[in-house]
Amino acid sequence: MADSDFHVIIVGAGATGLMIAHGLKKARIRATIYERFSREEYEALAGKWTVALHWSIPFIEACIPPEISANLKSTETHPWEDHDSTEGAYIPLINGLTGDLMAKMPMPSARRVSRGKLRNLLTTGIDIHFGMKLSEVRSESAAGEKPAVTALFNGGSVVAEGSVIVGADGARSVVRSHLVGKEAGQLQAAESLALNAFATFTAEQALFIRNNSHLIGQVSPHPNQNTLVFSTMADVVDPEKPETWVFQYSFSVLNKDDPAADEGEHRKLFKAHMATYCEPYKSIGSWLTDDTPVTAERFHFWSNIVPWDNRDGKITIAGDAAHPMLPFRAQGLNNAAEDAKLYVDAIKGVVYDNKDLKSSIDAYDNSSYTRGKADIISSYEQMKAYHNWNEVMNSPLVKSGGYGKSP
């Protein structure tokens, strides 16, 4: 018999938390989701960042209702276009100096989606409690007593009681810090500096770029320097007006120095490096206008990931809270979607099949930790390889040509 009093507290209304909320709602399990930002801040932070979806799509569709699944296409960076099944099954690795195709990195059923659009779609039908900054989580009551867990927000002025807590509160997760300790849960900075630009161009320029770029995205290391360019379409606002198309460029260089604070310096460095690349990058750098923002950041990841204490199954973490990784293998959101599906399944088993909470969440945690650790390591190794030409050329992918073979 189902436990009608079972209540899941979800901390964080990003994609992971929202997928969990939908999955529990479909299963008719009570859940309440809390977001630290105000509604206005939350909407402003959606941004133009893009993310890759590929093997995780079935997990997402398992969590969300059919009417939302039917609209997933609208979150793609180019929702007006149906990708060719052959060309869309890989991401090209391009020689940044010559423009030659070096390998095809298999990525079947890949979609490039807008993180903001995806998150906004997933808010459909979900009641989010905004402006709730987590202060503390507690699981002090004895087994079987209610409430089993307590979450304190905004310095303790808001108290939420429930059966379990899942932290989906991002890479700098407060819930993670409570489970492993602040020091053990700290992130480490990668040795690469990324310069990011979201740019529009004239109609003629935009068409030139589009016609000389892969339809989903491409990765271009440079043979003469420890640099890399990732490029993709960020948003096709109007397919009939190329001047409205937004392109995303992420240029990264091995550099341990902190970025300059001046955005003008970021743009100057970005344009100087792009000038050393092949087309269309060379033209992109020269066409970039002075009013195009170029941000600089150093990616962070949980390099020292450790298993977390789930407090007898009462408190756990998911998505970037569980395994914040570098973006160089495009696995972050995919792992988050699998986390969401597996967590929902675990809770369904507890509520409807009387399965033991601790053993169910232990099994979930083992999957999330094992997958996460593997991809944290591999994404870091991929970052180093992309910025070292010898490693690129000696990689199994390049040696095999990568044509349909597993990397």
Residue 392 lies in a domain: no
Spatial contact of 371 and 319, defined as CB atoms under 8 Å apart: no
Looking at the fold, whether 237 and 256 belong to one and the same domain comes out as yes
Higher pLDDT, 47 or 205: 205
Show which of 259, 281, 298 is a domain's final residue: 298
Spatial contact of 153 and 136, defined as CB atoms under 8 Å apart: no
Residue 96 lies in a domain: no
pLDDT tens profile 32-82: 999 999 999 998 887 788 988 888 999 999 999 999 999 999 999 988 877
Looking at the fold, whether 130 and 246 belong to one and the same domain comes out as no
User: From CA 261, how far away is CA 258, in angstroms rounded?
Assistant: 9
317: domain CATH number is 3.50.50.60
Spatial contact of 229 and 173, defined as CB atoms under 8 Å apart: no
**Dihedral sign computed on CA atoms, order 66, 47, 269, 378:** negative
Task: Provide the residue range defining the domain that includes 329.
Answer: 7-75+110-188+301-386
Residue 368 lies in a domain: yes
Looking at the fold, whether 214 and 290 belong to one and the same domain comes out as yes
Q: Kindly state the average pLDDT of the residues 386-390.
A: 91
Sheet-wide strand order for 315-317: 128-129, 30-34, 7-11, 164-167, 315-317
DSSP code at position 171:
T
Q: Rounded to an integer, what is the distance from CA 116 to the centroid of its chain?
A: 11
Instruction: Look at residues 167, 128, 131, 173 and name the one whose alpha carbon lies nearest to residue 151.
Output: 167
Question: Residue 403 pLDDT > 50, yes or no?
Answer: no
Looking at the fold, whether 140 and 222 belong to one and the same domain comes out as no
- At residue 54, the pLDDT reads 82
**Dihedral sign computed on CA atoms, order 335, 103, 278, 379:** positive
259: domain CATH number is 3.30.2030
Question: Residue 15 pLDDT > 70, yes or no?
Answer: yes
Show which of 298, 327, 350 is a domain's final residue: 298
Looking at the fold, whether 267 and 330 belong to one and the same domain comes out as no
Looking at the fold, whether 307 and 159 belong to one and the same domain comes out as yes
Instruction: Look at residues 317, 358, 356, 360 and name the one whose alpha carbon lies nearest to residue 339.
Output: 317
Residue 2 lies in a domain: no
Looking at the fold, whether 196 and 339 belong to one and the same domain comes out as no
Looking at the fold, whether 223 and 287 belong to one and the same domain comes out as yes
Residue 91 lies in a domain: no
Residue 1 lies in a domain: no
Show which of 271, 298, 325 is a domain's final residue: 298
Instruction: Look at residues 320, 22, 311, 26 and name the one whose alpha carbon lies nearest to residue 167.
Output: 320
Q: Kindly state the average pLDDT of the residues 386-398.
A: 86
User: From CA 196, how far away is CA 259, in angstroms rounded?
Assistant: 12
Looking at the fold, whether 20 and 148 belong to one and the same domain comes out as yes
Neighbours of 157 (CB within 10 A): 9
Question: Residue 142 pLDDT > 60, yes or no?
Answer: no
Looking at the fold, whether 173 and 34 belong to one and the same domain comes out as yes
Cα–Cα distances in angstroms (integers) from residue 318 to residues 170, 278, 339, 366, 367, in the given order: 9, 40, 6, 12, 11
Residue 259 lies in a domain: yes
Looking at the fold, whether 309 and 382 belong to one and the same domain comes out as yes
Residue 403 lies in a domain: no
Number of domains in the chain: 2
User: Cα-atom radius of gyration of the chain, to the nearest Å?
Assistant: 22
Q: Kindly state the average pLDDT of the residues 287-294.
A: 94
Distance between the two ends of the chain, CA-based, in angstroms?
Answer: 46
- At residue 406, the pLDDT reads 34
Question: 3-state class of 160 per DSSP?
Answer: strand
Looking at the fold, whether 200 and 273 belong to one and the same domain comes out as yes
